[in-house]
Structure formats: C-alpha cells, structure tokens
Amino acid sequence: MRQGFVKAAVATPKIRVADTEYNGQQIRQQMRESVTKGAKLVVFPELCITGYTCQDLFFQETLLRGAAEELMKIAAESGELDAIFFVGLPYEIGGKLYNVAAVISHGKVLGMVPKSFIPNYNEFYEARHFASGAELCTEAYLPDGSRVPVDTDMIFTCRQLPKLKIAVEICEDLWVPNPPSISHALAGADVIVNLSASNEITGKESYRRELVVGQSARLICAYLYASAGDGESTQDLVFSGHNLIAENGRLLAQSRRFTYGITDSEIDVERITEERRRMTTFVGEDTHSEIEFDLKVEETELTRYINPAPFVPGIKEERDKRCDEILMIQAKGLAKRLEHTGANAVVGISGGLDSTLAILVTARAFDLLGRDRKGITAVTMPGFGTTDRTYDNAVNLIHCLGAEFVEVDIKNAVNVHFSDIGQDPSVHDVTYENSQARERTQILMDIANKNNALVIGTGDLSELALGWATYNGDHMSMYAVNASVPKTLVRHLVRYYADTCGEDLLKKTLLDVLDTPVSPELLPPENGQISQKTEDLVGPYELHDFFLYHMLRLGFSPAKIYRLAKIAFKGVYEEAFILKWLKTFCRRYFAQQFKRSCLPDGPKVGSAAVSPRGDLRMPSDASCALWMKELEE
C-alpha cells in the first residue's frame, strides 16, 4: 500500500447452482488464497453465493436463508484476513428481493450495494426475480440482528490510505448508457468494482474488455470486473469467468476464459488521483455517503509490468503507426508556420539523430505544401570535434533529401572569437564548447535572414528536461519541431523513416546515424573517433526519459520513481547506478528551468512536454531540496 500501490484480485470460484454451503466454502478458500498472495481488495462475481443461474429458485425461502447464513460465515472468515471483500448474493429487504454486493472487512458486513439496472431481455430475465435498487436507501437486517446500510451511492474509504475510495456497480449497470460508475467517480471513487455474470457468445469477449478498459479511461479510475464462470448452469448459457483489471485505460490483467480462479495485479491510486488533479474538467460531486474501513499499511510487491520505455509503444505495428502520426504532427505544425510566414527553412545538420529528424520533418512539411525541397537550406558546420563519419552522413542526408547544401567551416571564426575574449584554445572547458554552439546558431540565423527563412530547431525533449543545450545556442530557433519528442522516441522515428523511405542510400545513411554515439562533437576526436559521448556525461537517455515521464507526466515522488526504475531496469543497471542518475536528473531538472522558460514555439506530439506556454509552468528559481532530501534518505 505504500506509495499508493494496492494489490487487487478478482476471483471466480467453481460453484454449484443453489448449493450455498459449498459455494461459501469455495469463496472462503479463495479469500484466504487471495490474501496470501498479498491482495487487499478482492472481488467475487454477481450472486456467487447462490449462483447466478438459479432462476425461480430465487423465490425459495430456503435458498435465501442459506445465502444469508453463508454471508455471515464469509464475514466471520474475513475477521482474520486483512482485506476488503465484495461478494454477490440475493437479499430480501423491505419485502422485495434485491441483487446485492455485500461489502465485508475484518469480520463485519460494512454495507450492501443493490443492482440498479435489472435486465429483462433476450436471455436475461432478472426482473422476474429482482427489484431495481436505483432509488433504494435504507438499512438491512442481518441474521444476527445487526443492521447495515443499503444504498447504491456509497463509497468505501480506507482510513490508512484515504486515496483508496471504492464504489460498486453490478453487471448490467456498466452496460447501460449512464452507468452508476459515472456518479461514483465524480463523487470521488477511484476504484470501481463490478460483480458480474456475463455470459459468453461469439465476439463478446473483446467488447467486454473494451468496455471495461474504456470506462477506466473515461473515469480515470481502476476498474475491477469479476465474472461468473465454471459451475453456473449451462441450460441455455455458458459463463466463461472472464475477469479483468484495468487502470486509466490500461489493461493490467485478465484471466483466460472458461476457467475459474484468481486474477490479480496492483493498482496505483496515487497515479489516479494525480491524473484527476490535472484534469480541471473532472468536476466532483458530493452525492455519496462514505463508509470507512481499515487495512494494515504494508509494502506491496509489484508484479505489474513497468515499461522501461514509457514514451515508446512496445508492439511494432502500434509503434509504426505512432511514428507516422508523430511525424505528421511535426510536419503539419511546421507547414502551418511556413505557410503563415511565407518563409523557407534553414536547418543545421550535424550528422546526429536530432538534426536528422529535424530535416526529415522539414522535408515532409515541404511535401505537404507542394514546395520544392530546394527551399530547405541544409547547413553543415564542421568544427573542432567533427568526425568524418558524422560529416559524411550529414552530406549524404542533405543530398538524398534534395535540399540545398551549404557548408560553413566554423573553426577560423571560433578561433577569432577565442582571441577576442581571451580564451586559450587549448583549454577545453565550457567556454570552448559553447562558443562553437553559439557560432553555429549565429550562422543559421544570419543565413535565415539572407534567405527569408526560419531556423528549424533540432533539440529534443530529453535535452530540454536536462538542460543539455547551450543557452542561445542550439537552445534557440524559430520553430522547434523536436521539442516534445524524447530521445528514446527520436530513435524510433528515424528508424521508421529508414524502413519506409524506399531509397537505399538514404536508408543506409539513416541506419548509420542511428548507430553513431550521441555527441555534441564539441571536443576534438581521438584517433578519428568521437571523444565526447553525451550519455557518459549526463547518463543514459533511456533512464532519463523514464524519470522524465514519471515526474513530469505523473508527478511521482523521487522515491517512487526509483522503486519503479529498479523494477523496469532490473538486470540492465545496478541500483546505485540508477540512483546516481536520478539524483542528476532531479538537480538538472530544477536548475535548468531558465532555459525552458524562453523556448521557441514547437508542436506538442505526446502527453508530456515542457513548453512554458503549456505543460510546464515552473519558476526558474524553484528549490529541489525536498526532492534531493527524499533521494538521500
């Protein structure tokens, strides 16, 4: 439960229709098994104490009494188990029969939530047996004489983790146009549990999954769906036990169909509340009563998949689609700016990844506008650190794309500048490096003036997050097409272009660019090879992109980011190595905000960006003391 992680389980017991004693035994066994696996929240199917398919046996007093007695045994079983349980059964209240979810924790029945929407079509005839509980707000008597609240509008809140707020809907409630879960979420519930008995027909599996995942995205919640399965009557229907756990549009776990058993994963209520805080259109309503329960605060072992590359889709087909979409967003943004200004384009080409992506985007923008690519002035500017490899790749790239080729050697101009400011050229310090970067930017700006053009920025999101850019050097442009593209994604965009361009020399050049170490090439080469490798200086970009996503996009604490990174990069990096670069990231993220406060325009392509006009409005002199203190501890 620490850091907002809660182990949750959805369980389908193998039942016998109308055998409440047997079913209760199976439920209690799965309760114990779930808790042994670490679950703090366990959901069982609709009417699981009796079975969903009892039909007119629901009219039998013997069955109803057996269900109520078994409920009390289940509640007693929970006394020794540290979890909250949701169990379905029929229950008579005020002379009417209701399909309810009993909420149980630490030996007590906390309340009952009735089903609101009672189906009466096709194969489902629940209205023959059950009344709708949509307007029900009362109390029910338990067999021991105690009373519990009965209402659809109840939220069950954990005292030890107040962000864990659970609400209930039952099967058909989800499938209607206005599900109760909508009002539950608006009232603060961040976990919705659904006790269901969804039969299986051809094609229903994917629709059910999309419905659950979509509802979790729409409501920014975790959604736990427990469905009836093996043991239900097959007189006319078959139930598959298709259990699902989703969180904010992501499927965390699902069971195989036509089985029974327990499906579990960890939900992150901190992430859910963070997402809701950011969405100002998520307007809450104070419409529900609140019932508190207790859980011990323990470390939750994480088994859910932690993506080491959160900016990059893992499936190739999806990744290719995303790459094409991003390239189009970048190109469309630039095309609009070129069309509005009537300007041409100037791009500095180093032979590295970022400038390669920038010219590829620029070429696509010119194609969208129907312009001759000769309107793109591609400038290569060899300096003290330029290698033959990057120079040749830059030249080949420019020629392959049909842009105007311009070469300006900056060494003489920079040496004159060194003389003017009294810089010893043999001292390879930050002045030595940044003087080259600013000379290149001056050249690009002046060529742009000469050619009625805009300078197209090449810097990416990862560099901006770290401040790995020369202020008023490569930091500055007139339109920054890569500003919201992280370095890990830049690679995939260039790879996608290489795979789809259909030109052998261009593909060969792009593949060699991808194989070249990332470097600003501001220090002299060693034996003709790149001597200055960025990731040796600031750390691996795959780590920094991971840190960036979880801090900027999700607002996670450094300790939580560290915990997730250790899992995501297990076997790749040592824990001390991860911690070292996380400290570097936090320091630089705060210290370098002044560079991000004056960024040029550029298109947002994903869910995270650092534009001072949009996603990141942060004071340039904010202290990182709290973040660093947490990391030191």
Active site residue 54: no
What pLDDT is recorded for position 283? Answer: 80
Do 337 and 261 lie in one domain? The reply is no
Do 129 and 187 lie in one domain? The reply is yes
What pLDDT is recorded for position 156? Answer: 98
Tens of pLDDT, residue by residue over 505-553, are: 999 999 999 999 888 777 888 877 876 778 888 999 999 999 999 999 9
Annotated catalytic residue within 115, 165, 487, 560: 115
Active site residue 115: yes
Beta partners for 479?
A: 456
Tens of pLDDT, residue by residue over 127-154, are: 999 999 999 999 999 999 999 999 999 9
What pLDDT is recorded for position 284? Answer: 81
Structural domain including 54 reads 2-293
What pLDDT is recorded for position 569? Answer: 97
Tens of pLDDT, residue by residue over 406-453, are: 999 999 999 999 999 999 999 999 999 999 999 999 999 999 999 999
What pLDDT is recorded for position 623? Answer: 96
What pLDDT is recorded for position 120? Answer: 86
- Residue 613: DSSP 8-state: T
CATH number at residue 20: 3.60.110.10
Do 393 and 447 lie in one domain? The reply is yes
Do 85 and 28 lie in one domain? The reply is yes
Positions of the chain with pLDDT under 50:
none
Classify residue 305: in a domain, yes or no.
no
What pLDDT is recorded for position 97? Answer: 97
Task: Name the burial class of residue 529, with classes exposed (0-12), middle (13-18) and buried (19+) by CB atoms within 10 angstroms of its CB.
Answer: exposed
What pLDDT is recorded for position 315? Answer: 87
CA 507, 508, 509, 514 torsion-angle sign: positive
Which residue type, as a one-letter code, is found at position 180? P
Annotated catalytic residue within 46, 247, 463, 521: 46
Do 246 and 351 lie in one domain? The reply is no
CATH number at residue 567: 3.40.50.620
Q: Where are the alpha helices (DSSP H) in 501-528?
A: 504-515
Number of folded domains that form the chain? 2
For residue 58, give Cα distances in angstroms to 19, 63, 347, 507.
12, 7, 75, 69
Classify residue 23: in a domain, yes or no.
yes
What pLDDT is recorded for position 123? Answer: 65
What pLDDT is recorded for position 122? Answer: 61
Annotated catalytic residue within 48, 54, 158, 171: 171
Q: Do you know the residue count of the chain?
A: 633
Angle subtended at Cα 293 by Cα 273 and Cα 260, rounded to the nearest 5 degrees: 80
pTM of the model: 0.88
Structure tokens at 81: 């188990």
Classify residue 506: in a domain, yes or no.
yes
CA 192, 193, 196, 201 torsion-angle sign: positive
Classify residue 91: in a domain, yes or no.
yes
Active site residue 46: yes
Do 262 and 351 lie in one domain? The reply is no
What pLDDT is recorded for position 387? Answer: 92
CA 369, 375, 378, 379 torsion-angle sign: negative
